[in-house]
Amino acid sequence: MAGMAIAECEMATELEQAIRNKTAQVGIVGLGYVGLPLIRAFVAAGYPTMGFDVDQGKVDRLRAGESYIGHIPSAWIADCIRDEKFVPTADMSRMGEADALLICVPTPLSESRDPDLCYVEATTRQIAETLRPGQLVVLESTTYPGTSRDVMLPILARRGLRVGEDFFLAYSPEREDPGNPDFSADGIPKVVGGIEPNSCRLAELLYQQAVVRVVSVSSCEVAEACKILENTYRSVNIAMVNELKMLCDRLGIDVWEVIEAAKTKPFGFQAFYPGPGLGGHCIPIDPFYLSWVARKHGMSTRFIELAGEINTSMPQYVVRRVMDALNESSKALRGSKVCLLGVAYKKDVDDPRESPSFALMELLQAGGAELSYNDPHIPKLPAMRHHDVPDLSSRELTAEFLAEQDCVLIATDHSAYDYDFIVRHAPLVVDTRNATKNVREGRERIRKA
């Protein structure tokens, strides 16, 4: 589809020219871990940008030149605000000012693990209120195939504007990897699919200005399915190594050594690693979107659902390993002091979304443990949508504090941790991430989980 000529359409021609001239105003809806890096990419490409978020607190912090995401510097925010390269607002009535609106809002699961599109639908209704001829709307939020066409398009078309002629609609899945220094938003290829050819071509042209490469596909549905495939692939493979970890524990084999040996094969194998459960905004959620749409069409996705069951069961497995480790010292979980290291969903980020640490906390507290935590990136536990989070702040890892604990549980392997120091002073360390692999002294106090 690359290089396709746009059908004769005045609105498409005007928007194309504005994109090429870099006078098109780019609006990002949702200023979180996906939206803010996307703002940065378009500012770097020379476009005026607007950012929309319903959280007035976020908007106020951005206007004050303050970043709330670790890998987006406050100094950069302050410079953009001062030079008016970026205008953050909570006023959704201003959406009509943007020539392109890129939607980066959450797509969580309901309590029954069905897709919850309330944020996408609410945002689409807000856009529809101010939708004008010549606007491009692109959904980036992860969702099931058919969302753009079956959910968004009817809402946007209610006022009589025609897609492909008056306004344009496309889907381009976000691929942000928070904390990854090798891949920022502008360095990750973007997949783009449009409702019709004009929409695809305009979205493709827009992203070409800001990212390293654009991969155009034949429809929104293909682009939507692409993102779910990417993360389901990871979910299934992580489930496989999680299950292998439990088997290796039973056999007395170090699964980490097994993986290191297997990855020496130069073809046919990609290393995935076990952990205490899945976290982040994609892998724990996306496969359930795919299994839901399969059920809707009369199919079952047994492989995907089994992977989900294994991955969501890992916190229970880890807590059982903690209990076993305590039992070796003639201690029960009830009344034991347990310090959880790391509540971010992966190392060296400040992103707690869907982190398995919160499930671990619930299980440990339910078992009667006296709980504390440390995370250098998260000084206080935030409220979470699906968890009853205790009112705790990060504790300093002094020698005295570590010695007072009955168990230190490593849930996230942050680089900032001095694992030699931790093992030296803690009476028992349960390691879910192989973070202590290079520790030499005190290994008798380490248990893998």
Closest by Cα among 245, 233, 231, 306 to 276: 245
Active site annotation includes 282: yes
Q: What share of residues in the chain are helix, strand, coil (percent, to 5)?
A: 45, 15, 45
Distance CA 124, CA 164 (A): 17
Tokens encoding 307: 């992977």
Instruction: Identify whether the C-beta of residue 346 lies closer than 8 Å to the C-beta of residue 179.
Output: yes
Angle at 294 (CA atoms; ends 293, 295), nearest 5 degrees:
90
Q: Is 389 exposed, middle or buried (0-12, 13-18, 19+ CB in 10 A)?
A: middle
Q: Which residues pair with 368 in a beta bridge?
A: none
Selected catalytic residue, list 9, 104, 248, 282: 282
3-11, long-range: CB < 8 A, 24+ apart: 4/197, 4/200, 4/201, 6/197, 6/198, 6/201, 6/202, 7/164, 7/197, 7/198, 9/164, 9/165, 9/198, 11/133, 11/134, 11/165, 11/166, 11/167, 11/168
Q: Which residues of 270-308 are buried (b: 16+ CB within 10 A; e: fewer)?
A: eebebbbbbbbbbbbbbbbbbbbbbeeeeeebeebbebb
DSSP code of residue 150:
I
* CB atoms inside a 10 Å sphere around CB 238: 21
SS3 119: helix
* E strand or H helix at 169: strand 168-171
Tokens encoding 163: 């897609």
The residue whose two tokens read 């297997």 is: 262
Q: Kindly list the catalytic residues.
A: 282
